Structure 1
Amino acid sequence: MGERTLPFTRRSYLKGAAAATASGLLAGCASPSDGGDGGSSGDGATTSNGSGDPTTTDPSYTASLAPVGEVSFDEPPESTFVLFPQYADMAVALGYGDTVNSLFVPEMSGTTMNHYYERLDGVSFDWEGLPDPFGDGIDEEQLYSLDSDVHFLDPAYLVTQDNWSVGDAEDVATNVAPWFGNFYSGTHDQPPEQYRDAYEYYTLWELFGHVADVFGERERAEALREVHDDLVATIEADLPPEEERPTAVRVTYAEGTFYTYHLNKPGYWLADTRPLGAHDAFADEDWSSLWGSVGYETMLDADPDVVLHLWGATPRYEMSSVRERLRNSETGGRLSAVENDRVYASGMRYQGPLMNLFQLEMTAKQLYPDVFGEWPAYEDGQHYPEIPADEQLFDRDRVASIVTDGA
């Protein structure tokens, strides 16, 4: 299928409003680049006006992403709607954290982000007072009220929510601002049928590059990606042979049930575990949803060496309480990970690029302390631990410089 662009309107931002029909939105295949330089610089081009005097052409630039296609901007957005925090983390990484006007459970997401940013000089995120779009369900009236310049949310995900249709999503794109998000790359799950022909899966860092194009900041994104690629290369070079790697699970524990997630499947939800190559104790399980659930006996049968507790590094869970409940359970207390103090607080699956750097380092130390250095004791509510300089797996100063100066 050939390349297709999807025109939207946004007051002075976007061109081609008349062509944005429902059939145009869904027909054909989008073919966004996933590794090039992305959109134009937005500087415009110089031409003659007929009298010999130079004039500047339209300075608009474009960004593209499946399933929305190509979107044009006249200038970087000043107000950005965010639901899932990976996009807020991307905005911070690109120097545009102050544009974010909403966030999923901001007291959890924002606090967690700042726990990581504490180790990056000059980097922080002001989340207080942001509304949670999920509070009472994503509300169309709220979207009009926020009057954002771009919506960092996948319309294919939006139409799975109550009271949302493809037509509703298109109305918001036309009358307020375009959608720009890709949810199903998180797990490689199937998007709704209406969007499948236009869908494409991206890695976290490919997605970040496309979001960077929205702000005209591809160069900054590529500089951060170099840090990530060096980090992954460092990890992969020192990984033990497969037969010496631990078995592990990623779970969320609640009231005697372990909600289980895979470690090594495709998708950017696993961008902090897949490069570590540990043996997934539930690798052969094919859950009908994005996760499964098991009880104590099943967990004991698997008996992983390491338990990575998803959301454990966020204010949502008290890891001291989780560990105590596991130890005090007749079955849980027999788990090898519990006996050997290898139940660790893990991060968020909704991770952007900065969060991913820290969570990769965290997970490397939790899985392979003999190789990458011990993971320091982590107390509930603390910032990301201070790691001795000679045990850090990526350069904090370099990352902070890219974020704050674009260098």
Structure 2
Amino acid sequence: MDRRTFIGVGGATLGTALAGCTGSGDGGSTTSTSTNETTTATSTGDGSYTVSMEPVGDVTFDAVPETWVANNGSYADMGVALGLDAPKGLWLANRWHTTYYDELEGVSVDTSDTISLYQDGVSKERFYALDADVHVMDPNFLANRFKGWSEADVDEVVENVAPFFGNSIFSRGYAWHEDYRYYTLYEAFETVAGLFGREERYEAFAALHDEFQNALTDVAPTSDAERPQVAVLWATGDEPTSFLPYLVNEGTSFKQWRDLNVRDALAETSVKDFHSSRGSIDYETLLKIDPAYLLLRGHEDKTAAEFENTVVAFMQEHETASELTAVQNGDVYRGGPLYQGPISNLVLTERGARQLYGYDEALFERERVADIVAGSL
């Protein structure tokens, strides 16, 4: 595949898509459609094929990409599920928590060559050096998360390296994403499977996920009286004294909590989501809310025991934190990562069922996951 002469991008140009989301153009200039249908790969009859995902639109390849760069662990996990090698780069490589694969015999990935794109900024030279066949990344995320990239920079990388093809699915809290469609986890997964020509693996995972969802109906309560009241917070360090509040929304990073039918304690207060406010809350504010469960992000590199021996132990000794109901009842847990894909979602949802409901049985077949990843469909 000649990456530098990939056949083309349909609809609006990348520059136009960026203009509408950075404020340099009106909302109508973003690349978007009114349909909610997921478009998979379409063959053009000459060996090339077209895939489509907002905000970029249609992208046509004359061969399946062999190397890739991804925005985050959501897409990297999709790659593992599809049996791909690890992406050559991620926005922050350390936020792809591959320890989830440890409990799935036969599922593993070598991340030794995966680098962080963000290293005190993201340089165009890094994209040139990685020389990937495709960038599974929303170009609007690149242009809006920090200053330094213009529409011309994105277009240059597309022209000289490879296309962008992705959507920021993990959160629905970004104002710049209001003008074009979001995708659910499995809608995005289906599109990525089409990009890499591995639709059969996607179909197998989708069937497994349907069975998984059915199993959850016997676990998660439906009545408001029984739904657990939780607060999802980012807790930095082993002795946290302030927290970044994350309100449970439709982004993929909250999928396990939505599927487990929790009540968001923060949503019932005036506390604003971190994505929109960039604010934090302290123990005094938490004590006024006093959620039954505290689900703390930022500690997915720890085991449950390590988390309890550091963060939880500190809170138990803290003058104010020790008054919280969740601390007193032993209901402070790791809250999951910002990014999850089809495999990590299975693991995290099952873990959440244990945390909230004490459900100890397996909710999905480990061997089946390994078989799909290996292509034994």
TM norm. shorter chain > 0.5: yes
Q: How far does residue 28 in structure 1 lie from its aligned partner after superposition? A: 6.1
Confirm or deny: 8 A CA contact 2:245 2:272 kept in the other structure. no
Q: Does 1:14 align with 2:7?
A: yes
Does structure 1 residue 398 correspond to structure 2 residue 373? no
For structure 2, the 5+ residue unaligned runs are 20-28
SS in 2 for 1:258: strand
CA-based RMSD of the aligned residues comes to: 2.6
Cα distance in structure 2, aligned partners of 1:24 and 1:86: 22
Q: Return the alpha-carbon distance in structure 2 between the equivalents of residues 322 and 28 of structure 1.
A: 43
Mapped to 2, the partners of 1:312 and 1:24 lie a distance apart of: 35
Whether the 8 Å CA contact 2:170–2:251 is kept in 1: the answer is yes
Matches within 5 A, 1:223-238: 223-238=204-219
Aligned-residue identity in percent: 35
Q: 1:196 to 1:343 in 2, by over 3 A?
A: closer
Partner of 1:86: 74
Amino acid across the alignment from 1:395: E
1:262-277 correspondence to structure 2 within 5 Å: 262-263=247-248, 265-277=249-261
Whole-angstrom CA distance in 2 between matches of 1:85 and 1:322:
24
User: What does residue 349 of structure 2 align with?
Assistant: 360
* Residue equivalent to 1:388: none
Matches within 5 A, 1:163-174: 163-174=148-159
Contact 1:93 1:353 (C-alpha < 8 Å) held by counterparts: yes
CA contact (8 A) 2:9 2:58 kept: no
Listed one character per residue, the Cα deviations across residues 162-192 of structure 1 (whole Å, up to 9, x for unaligned) are 2101121111112211111111x32223453
3-state SS in 2 of match to 1:151? strand
Q: TM-score, normalised by structure 2?
A: 0.86
Cα separation, 2, equivalents of 1:38 and 1:175: 26
Higher Cα Rg, which structure: 1
Q: Deviations over 1:68-112 (max 9, x none)?
A: 1011112221110123111111111111124x1113443x345x2
Alignment of 1:19-30 (within 5 A): 20=13, 22-23=15-16, 27=29, 29-30=31-32
Does 1:325 pair with 2:314? yes
Q: Deviations over 1:332-389 (max 9, x none)?
A: 11111111111112321211111111111111221111xx23xxxxxxxxxxxxxxxx
Is this contact kept in 1: 2:70–2:137, CA < 8 A? yes
Distance 1:164 1:256 in 2: 35
Which of 284, 296, 305 aligns to 1:297? It is 284
TM-score computed with the length of structure 1 as normaliser: 0.80
State the alpha-carbon separation in 2 of the partners of residues 133 and 166 from structure 1: 18
| Deviation sequence 1:181-229 (CA, Å, 0-9, x none) | 111x32223453xx765x2111111111111111011221121122222
Distance 1:83 1:298, change over 3 A: same
Q: Which residue of 1 aligns with 2:24?
A: none
User: In structure 1, what is the equivalent of residue 229 of structure 2?
Assistant: 247
Secondary structure of 1:301's counterpart equals helix
Q: How far does residue 36 in structure 1 lie from its aligned partner after superposition? A: 5.3
Matched-pair contact (CA < 8 Å) for 1:32–1:66: no
Aligned residues: 356
1:7-406 matched pairs, under 5 angstroms = 10-15=3-8, 20=13, 22-23=15-16, 27=29, 29-31=31-33, 38-40=40-42, 42=43, 45=45, 58-98=46-86, 100-106=87-93, 108-110=94-96, 112-113=97-98, 115-160=99-144, 161-183=146-168, 185-192=169-176, 197=179, 199-240=180-221, 241-254=223-236, 255-263=240-248, 265-284=249-268, 285=270, 287=272, 289-290=274-275, 292-315=279-302, 319=307, 320-369=309-358, 372-373=359-360, 391-406=361-376
Cα gap change, 1:29/1:80 in structure 2, threshold over 3 Å: closer, same or farther?
closer
